[in-house]
């Protein structure tokens, strides 16, 4: 199988590319290596992938329609996995244009390229943030997602809608998956686990938003990648819904398209998450409690029954293990950078 992965030097794209390469597949990785966070971290990930003869790196932006279309046409991939995006809820308050450029224009360019060079399956990364102001937990894929509370969420919901229209018009089988707070080794420096770890090890206070009352459905990176790997072989077909007890499929009535939550459905309180970091580091963190930031939601929790029905798999890695794996990687990576 040949996979074309946008965002291959990103956290999730790196792990997915590595998994597919190790399984003997060919991967073309497309990444702009933008400076949203430490580019050295992205290049280190890219360097690991480049050790595989079956990996091809393309450094270009999603907004470069010609470069993207030419790269996909040349690769003629079996599967196209669109992970690249401008991420982050808080960053969108200060740099909204980046989200329009990457998440709307960039996604449009991916869809146009898929129309010109149709893969057997197009997979698009969305987010739990699309559930926005929903108060009902757990979040089910059939719940309304019409009230985004951040620009990031709005652009991702728009991407889902765009992908559905293209799937209907051009019959490209498409799966959108909604991620829930992914964490693990090689993670992003702008995410809580990375930021908390850096500050704690430097003896600095950590800022705890939502007064520590937030709840998150954390998903360990290996579980996420395994879910995507299994979903690759679950391309939607019109008129072929999942029939499992208690599961309402999201298969479109007019297109080979569906949306799937990827999470374990076992949310953890923010303070318990911090305590897990403290236990592993054997350090008590000084905490500064802050109110909820704009664009954030108090709780996320996934209904993962559709994922389980489609793949037979559901993320289940406990926080204690996943945090420990991240901390082991973090200390090794930082030690290596200081040499």
* Per-residue pLDDT tens digits for 11-48: 999 999 999 999 999 999 999 999 999 999 999 999 99
Residue positions annotated with a catalytic role: 152
Query: Structural domain boundaries of the chain?
Result: 2-338
- The DSSP output letter for 7 is T
What integer pLDDT is reported at residue 339 of this predicted model? 56
Query: What tens digit of pLDDT does each residue of 268-285 get?
Result: 999 999 999 999 999 999
8-state DSSP, 210: G
What are the phi and psi torsion angles at 231 (to 5°)? -70, -25
**Alpha-carbon distances, residue 271 vs 8, 80, 95, 275, 280 (angstroms):** 32, 38, 29, 6, 14
Q: Give the burial class of 230: count Cβ atoms within 10 A of its Cβ; 0-12 exposed, 13-18 middle, 19 or more buried.
A: middle
Number of neighbouring beta carbons within 10 Å of residue 58: 19
Identify the CATH number of the domain defined by range 2-338: 3.40.50.720
46-56 as b/e, with b when 16 or more CB fall inside 10 Å?
beebeebeebb
Give me the percent of the chain exceeding a pLDDT of 70.
99
- Residue 30's SS3 state is strand
Claim: this prediction has a pTM higher than 0.95 = yes
pLDDT band at 223 (very low <50, low <70, confident <90, very high): very high
CB 256 within 8 A of CB 238: yes
Tokens of 212: 């520590």
Structure confidence by residue, pLDDT tens digits, 116-138: 999 999 999 999 999 998 889 99
E strands, 87-155, where?
A: 121-127
């Amino acid at each position: 199988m040949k996979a074309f992965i946008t965002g291959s030097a990103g956290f999730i794209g790196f792990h997915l590319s590595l998994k597919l390469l190790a399984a003997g597949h060919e991967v073309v990785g497309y990444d702009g290596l933008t400076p949203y966070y430490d580019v050295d971290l992205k290049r280190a990930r890219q360097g690991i992938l480049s050790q595989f003869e079956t990996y091809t790196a393309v450094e270009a932006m999603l907004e470069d329609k010609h470069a993207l279309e030419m790269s996909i046409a040349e690769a003629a991939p079996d599967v196209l996995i669109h992970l690249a995006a401008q991420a982050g809820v808080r960053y969108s308050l200060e740099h909204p244009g980046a989200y329009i450029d990457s998440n709307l224009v960039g996604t449009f360019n991916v869809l146009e390229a898929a129309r010109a060079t149709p893969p057997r399956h197009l997979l698009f990364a969305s987010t739990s943030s699309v559930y926005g102001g929903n108060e009902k937990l757990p979040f089910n894929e059939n719940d309304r997602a019409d009230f985004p509370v951040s620009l990031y969420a709005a652009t991702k919901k728009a991407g889902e809608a765009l992908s559905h229209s293209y799937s209907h018009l051009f019959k490209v089988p498409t799966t959108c998956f909604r991620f829930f707070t992914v964490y693990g080794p090689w993670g992003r420096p702008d995410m809580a686990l990375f930021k908390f770890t850096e500050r704690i090890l430097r003896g600095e206070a950590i800022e705890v938003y939502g007064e520590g009352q937030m709840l998150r459905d954390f998903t360990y990176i290996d579980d996420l990648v395994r879910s995507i790997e299994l979903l690759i072989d679950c391309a939607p077909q019109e008129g072929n819904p999942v029939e499992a007890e208690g599961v309402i499929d999201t298969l479109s009535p007019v297109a080979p398209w569906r949306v799937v939550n990827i999470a374990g459905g076992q949310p953890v309180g923010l303070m318990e998450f911090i305590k897990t970091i403290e236990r592993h580091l054997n350090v008590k963190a000084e905490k500064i409690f802050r109110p909820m930031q704009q664009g954030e939601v108090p709780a996320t929790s996934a209904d993962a029954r559709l994922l389980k029905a489609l793949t037979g798999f559901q993320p289940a890695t406990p926080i204690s293990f996943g945090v420990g794996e991240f901390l082991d990687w973090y200390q090794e990576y930082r030690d290596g950078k200081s040499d």
